[in-house]
Amino acid sequence: MHIIRQVTSDICWIGASDHRLSLFENIYPVPQGISYNAYLLKDEKTVLFDTVDAAVRQQFLENLKYALDERPLDYIVIHHMEPDHCAEIADLVRLYPEIKIVCNGQMQKMIEQFFSLNLPADKFIFVKEGDTLNTGRHTLHFIAAPMVHWPEVMMTYDTADKILFSADAFGTFGALNGNIFADEVDFEHFYLDEARRYYANIVGKYGPQVQNVLNKAAALDIRMICPLHGFIWRQNIEFYLQKYRQWSAYEPETEGVVIAYGSIYGNTYNTVALLAAELADAGVKNIRMYDVSVTHPSYIISDMFQYSTLVFAAPTYNGGIFVNMENLLRDLTAHNLQNRRIAVLDNGTWAAVAGKQMKEELAKLKNCVILESSLSLKSALKADQLPQIDALVKDIIAA
């Protein structure tokens, strides 16, 4: 059965959610599921904005058929060619032979790369930054958003209802459960953490490109944001724009310390647990501690985008960094985090190299300070090393 919600008088949401997916992009746990949003505009012309992931194909096609109500489908506007949004293009070309594909040249190449459809040139309407498409009451303005987070990405601004169709930007992990508007849920309590985890891990590497789009958006009167994942924003949009400004500038949102540790037999854990207790005694709030072998790196990276100070602690393993910590560090440096204070602790029973190698990897992060004070354990913390913990606490709170 179709499941549709009205967005405005002539735009409806015809997407679908997947509650059964365990790993989005086969990487990120999505315990609350994920939504794939598609929108249908019924003006003098009918316009579909994007499709959905293949996993929810049947629901989407049923929604689209019902929403069209026997009208032809005139256009599909493509905002992003990642397959979680474009998987049904071949279906649409087959089911709606009159359809024109509104996209840019990079998208046309990607359509061929993914689907080998060999579509004729007259199937496409090519658009670029600043181009418009009039559909009757609505005029769609196309905005290039390269590397947010793929090179071909476009957004659309509808001047009639002042809606920004924002592609992956402003999305969140988490399925839609009836409510499709952010103002229909307690977003800050129940979804902001997942929105941050989505941003940090999917888009986080591309802060300057996000800032570029935010600058373009600042010139527009935006009354509604329709992203490809998660909730539609029609109230308190400034709240979410401000989060994006902060995240894309790599500014910490909250004072606090994220401690990520790897510990094989508990000795490194014992040391960071003592450090955490002493930090708390010194008045530090918002201490978050993660065992890198237990918590998926996407959650830790998300917290590292939120908080101001980071501590890494891990043993040497196979002549290098304990493997789960190495994975976290490489993931973090790939995501380009900046503007943090960082402390490093390590452990090694013999031939310890983890501390040095961790610092080398962390040195790739721009505008970060790696604190002078650190601590190297030889198997376990010793009483004569307690002053080093005190020094570390002092250095961290000095920030």
How far apart (Å, rounded) are the C-alpha atoms in residues 130 and 144?
8
Closest CA to 103 of 68, 132, 127: 127
Told to check if 194 binds ligand FEO by CB under 6 A, we report no
Of the residues 41, 78, 155, 228, which one makes contact with ligand FEO according to CB under 6 A: 228
Q: Are 173 and 234 in contact (CB under 8 A)?
A: no
Residue 119's Cα: distance from chain center in Å? 32
Q: Residue with the closest Cβ to ligand FEO?
A: 82
Write the DSSP symbol of residue 118: -
How far apart (Å, rounded) are the C-alpha atoms in residues 61 and 36?
13
Closest CB to ligand FEO among residues 228, 365:
228
Write the DSSP symbol of residue 252: -
Shortest reach from residue 228's CB to ligand FEO, in Å = 5
Of the residues 74, 82, 158, 346, which one makes contact with ligand FEO according to CB under 6 A: 82
Binding range to ligand FEO, per CB under 6 A, among 77-85, 112-120, 297-305, 313-321 = 77-85
Shortest reach from residue 82's CB to ligand FEO, in Å = 4
Shortest reach from residue 73's CB to ligand FEO, in Å = 22
Closest CB to ligand FEO among residues 206, 307:
206
Binding range to ligand FEO, per CB under 6 A, among 42-50, 80-88, 134-142, 279-287 = 80-88
Shortest reach from residue 168's CB to ligand FEO, in Å = 4
Over the window 122 to 151, marking each residue x when it contacts ligand FEO by CB under 6 A and - when it does not, the resulting string is ---------------------------x--
Of the residues 49, 77, 85, 377, which one makes contact with ligand FEO according to CB under 6 A: 85
Q: Binding residues for ligand FEO, how many (CB under 6 A)?
A: 8
Site for ligand FEO in 164-193 (CB under 6 A): 168
Closest CB to ligand FEO among residues 80, 340:
80
Closest CA to 25 of 211, 146, 197, 180: 197
Q: Which two tokens stand for residue 178?
A: 């009836």
Told to check if 64 binds ligand FEO by CB under 6 A, we report no
How far apart (Å, rounded) are the C-alpha atoms in residues 83 and 51?
9
Shortest reach from residue 24's CB to ligand FEO, in Å = 8
Binding range to ligand FEO, per CB under 6 A, among 68-76, 81-89, 118-126, 319-327 = 81-89
Residue 69 Ramachandran class (φ > 0 left, ψ -120 to 50 alpha, else beta): left
Closest CA to 85 of 60, 51, 118, 54: 51
Amino acid found at 372 = E
Binding range to ligand FEO, per CB under 6 A, among 78-86, 189-197, 315-323, 375-383 = 78-86
Of the residues 79, 80, 196, 197, which one makes contact with ligand FEO according to CB under 6 A: 80
Q: Which two tokens stand for residue 222?
A: 């935006």
Closest CA to 395 of 338, 341, 339: 341
Closest CB to ligand FEO among residues 30, 311:
30
How far apart (Å, rounded) are the C-alpha atoms in residues 276 and 288?
9
The residue to which tokens 């040195």 are assigned? 363
Q: 258 phi and psi, to 5 degrees? A: -100, 120
Structural element, H or E, at residue 29: strand 28-29
Q: Which two tokens stand for residue 164?
A: 């920004």
Of the residues 18, 74, 84, 88, which one makes contact with ligand FEO according to CB under 6 A: 84
Told to check if 18 binds ligand FEO by CB under 6 A, we report no
Told to check if 50 binds ligand FEO by CB under 6 A, we report no
Shortest reach from residue 36's CB to ligand FEO, in Å = 8
Of the residues 79, 138, 229, 234, which one makes contact with ligand FEO according to CB under 6 A: 229
Which residues have a Cβ under 8 Å from the Cβ of 40 and sit 6 or more positions away? 11, 12, 14, 46, 47, 48, 49, 64, 67, 68
Residues that bind ligand FEO (CB under 6 A): 80, 82, 84-85, 149, 168, 228-229
